Structure 1
C-alpha cells in the first residue's frame, strides 16, 4: 500500500479507538509513517486492556465455576461489551465460545468492536461459521467495516465462506482496505474469486479507487495475472477511471506489476485506452518507473503504447538523470525490451539522442546491452540505428557493427561500421 493510503487506513482505525466519529480530525498525523500510527494504536490498546489485568484475570477465573447460562447473563446484563472484551482474552477459548453461543448477535457485535484480535485470535478461530455470519451481518448493518477488517486474518476459511454472502462487493472492498493483516487478502480472494470483477467494478461505480488500488497493492504476485486480466475485461470506462486515479494518487508502483503480469491481449486493451495517452499520465508513468526503478514492469507497457505517444515518451525519457537513464538501459539489456528503449532514445531530438548514445558507449555493462540484441530484435531498430549512425560514438558504432555480424546481419554491419573501417 502507498504510504498515503496506509496512513488513511491507520488514522481511521485510531479514530475508532478514540471514539472520534470524523477521522479527518486526526489528519495532522498523516505525515507520520503508518507503522508509527499503528504502533501507537496498539500501545493505547495495550494500556486499556492491561491496566486492570490482575482483576480481570480474577473475574475470568471465577467464571469457570459459574454455569455457562449464568455467565452469559452476567456478561450481557452486568459487564457490558467493553468489560466482556477486556475479560475475553483471559478466558479459555472454548469456554468463551460456549458463553458467546448464549448471547444474541447484537451484543456479540458490540463486543467484537471492543476486542483486540492480538489477544483473542484463538477465540475468534473457534467461533462457529453461523455465529461469524450473524455477527458480520450485524456489523455490516451499521456500516462497520473496520471491525470486520481487523478480524479477517483470524477467521477460519469455513467461517469466511459462510459470511461472504452477507457482504456486498462494496463491503468486501471496504473490509479489504481495513485489513489488520494485509497478507490475508489472498485467502479472501481465494474464497470470493468469482466476485472479484464485481469488487473492482464497485471501486469504479462508487468512486472508491483509493480502496481499489490498495487492494491491488496488497495481493501477492502469483495473483497479479488473473486479476490483471479481469481488470482489462471490465471495459474502457473502468480502465480509464483506474488509470486516472493511479496517476492522481501517484500509485503506478502498484499498477505496473499488475500490467506486467497481464496477458498480451489484456495489456493491449490497457495500452489502447485514451486515458493513458495524455501527457500528464505518461509523465506520471515515466516518473514512477524512474523514481522507483520499475523499468522491468514499465517497459512492456511502454512498448504496447501506440506510436502517437512516442514523441511525448521520448521527451520524458530525455529529461531523466544520467543515473535514471543508466538504470533504464541496464534493465532493458537484461530483459526483452531493449528495442523499446532504443526506439525512445532515437526518437529524441539530436541533443537528447547524442546524450543517450554517449551514455551507452560509456556504460560498464555495455556487453549486456550488446548481448540483448538478438535474432529477434526488430529490423526497424537496426534501420533506426543506421539512420542516426553519425550521432553514434565511434566505439559504440564498431561494437554494434560487430554484433550485427555475429547475428548474420552483414549489410547492417557494413552500414554501421565507422567511416574508414570495415566490419569483419
Structure 2
C-alpha cells in the first residue's frame, strides 16, 4: 500500500483503507515511496487519526510516527500535532519520551509554530517539559539550527520557571546574535512571543538587552509597546523602562499617544510596582501639549494616584524642574501631590512653584 499510495487515485485509497487496522495506516504512511503523498493520505484518513495515534502508542511505534511527521507539510503536521495534544496524558508523554529517545526535537519543534494555543499549552505543561536540562537542550537547538521562530510560540505557554531556563540559554548568545534574533522576531511580528522570553532574563541580562542599539529603533520600540498593551504585559515590561536610554524617550512618548485610555490606565497601575514612575513621568512630559494633557488627566483620575506620586523619589533637580515648567497643564489634585512630593525630596522652591502656579 505504501508503494502504491502515491500513484493510485484517492478513490482507491478510500475503498481500501477502511479494511486496514489503525496501526496498518501508520505502516502505510511509513512506507510511502512518494513523500508528497503523506499529506494526501492524512486528509483521507482524518477521522481515523485519533485511533492511529492510540494504536501507535500502544504498539510503541512512535519512531515511525515521528518519521512520518517529518514528511508532512507544515499545515498537516500542525493539525496532526493538535490531535496528538488532545489525547490522554500517557499518549502525549509517550510521544515526548520517544522524541527525546530518538533525538527528534528538530522535527517536533517546528510543529509548535502552527499549533493551536490550547494544545500547545497542554504540551508545554507536561512533566517532561519541566526538566531544565531538556528545556536548555530545546533552546540550544532553536538557537543553533535556525528554529528560533519555532520556539517563540511555545514560550508564551511556559511557566515563569520554564521561561527563566530558556532565557538563561538565550542570554549566553553574543550581542550580534541577540540582535539577529530580535530582528527576526520583529520581521515576523513575534513581539508578543518574544517579550515573555526577554522579560524572563536576569536583571543584568535584561539591562544588556535594553542597551542593544536594535532595541532603540523606533519601529521596534513601538511594536514592543503595542504588544505589551495588547497582552497587558505592563507589570513585566515596565521594569525595562528604566534601562532604556533617555534618547528613546521621544519615541516612547509618541508610542504612548497611540494607547487607548484603558491601556494607559493599566500602565499607570503597574508603574509603582515596576519602580518606573519617575521614568514614566519623564516620558509623559516629552509628549506634545495635547497628548500630555490627556496622559496627566488619566493619571489624575487614577485610583492609585497617591501611590504613584509617592514613588517619585528622585533627587534629580532637572526632573522636578521639568514637572514645574509643565505645572499649568497639571490638573488638581495631581499638582498638589507633586508639590508635596517635591518638598519631601528636597526641592522646596519647586514645591512652592507647583503650589502657587
Matching of residue 356 in structure 1 with residue 295 in structure 2 = yes
- Say if 1:355 and 1:295 are closer, same or farther in 2 by CA, change over 3 A: same
Among 170, 175, 182, which residue is 1:236 paired with? 175
Among 360, 378, 402, which residue is 2:340 paired with? 402
Q: 2:348 & 2:295 partners in 1: Cα distance?
A: 21
Matching of residue 378 in structure 1 with residue 314 in structure 2 = yes
Equivalent residues, number: 319
Q: 1:418 & 1:160 partners in 2: Cα distance?
A: 66
Q: 2:354 & 2:107 partners in 1: Cα distance?
A: 69
Among 295, 320, 325, which residue is 1:390 paired with? 325
TM-score normalized with structure 1 length: 0.62
Q: 2:108 & 2:53 partners in 1: Cα distance?
A: 21
Whether the 8 Å contact between 2:139 and 2:169 is mirrored in structure 1 is yes
Which residue of structure 1 aligns with residue 208 of structure 2? 269
Which residue of structure 2 aligns with residue 415 of structure 1? 350
Structure 1 unaligned regions, length at least 5: 1-18, 20-51, 53-78, 89-99
Which residue of structure 1 aligns with residue 137 of structure 2? 195
Among 139, 158, 172, which residue is 2:68 paired with? 139
Q: What value does the CA root-mean-square deviation take over the aligned residues?
A: 3.9
Which residue of structure 1 aligns with residue 38 of structure 2? none
Whether the 8 Å contact between 1:169 and 1:195 is mirrored in structure 2 is no
Q: 1:277 & 1:420 partners in 2: Cα distance?
A: 37
CA-to-partner distance for each residue in 1:40-89, whole Å, 9 max, x for gaps?
xxxxxxxxxxxx9xxxxxxxxxxxxxxxxxxxxxxxxxx966643xx54x
Whether the 8 Å contact between 1:233 and 1:266 is mirrored in structure 2 is no
Whether the 8 Å contact between 1:176 and 1:185 is mirrored in structure 2 is no
Which residue of structure 2 aligns with residue 315 of structure 1? 254
SS in 1 for 2:275: coil
Q: 1:158 & 1:369 partners in 2: Cα distance?
A: 53
CA-to-partner distance for each residue in 1:67-120, whole Å, 9 max, x for gaps?
xxxxxxxxxxxx966643xx54xxxxxxxxxxx6xx898447469954745446
Q: 1:419 & 1:262 partners in 2: Cα distance?
A: 40
Matching of residue 341 in structure 1 with residue 280 in structure 2 = yes
Whether the 8 Å contact between 2:135 and 2:166 is mirrored in structure 1 is no
Whether the 8 Å contact between 1:201 and 1:238 is mirrored in structure 2 is no
Larger Rg: 1
Whether the 8 Å contact between 1:228 and 1:261 is mirrored in structure 2 is yes
- Say if 1:294 and 1:194 are closer, same or farther in 2 by CA, change over 3 A: closer
Which residue of structure 2 aligns with residue 288 of structure 1? 227
Offset of residue 184 of structure 1 = 0.8
Whether the 8 Å contact between 1:247 and 1:285 is mirrored in structure 2 is no
Whether the 8 Å contact between 2:99 and 2:108 is mirrored in structure 1 is no
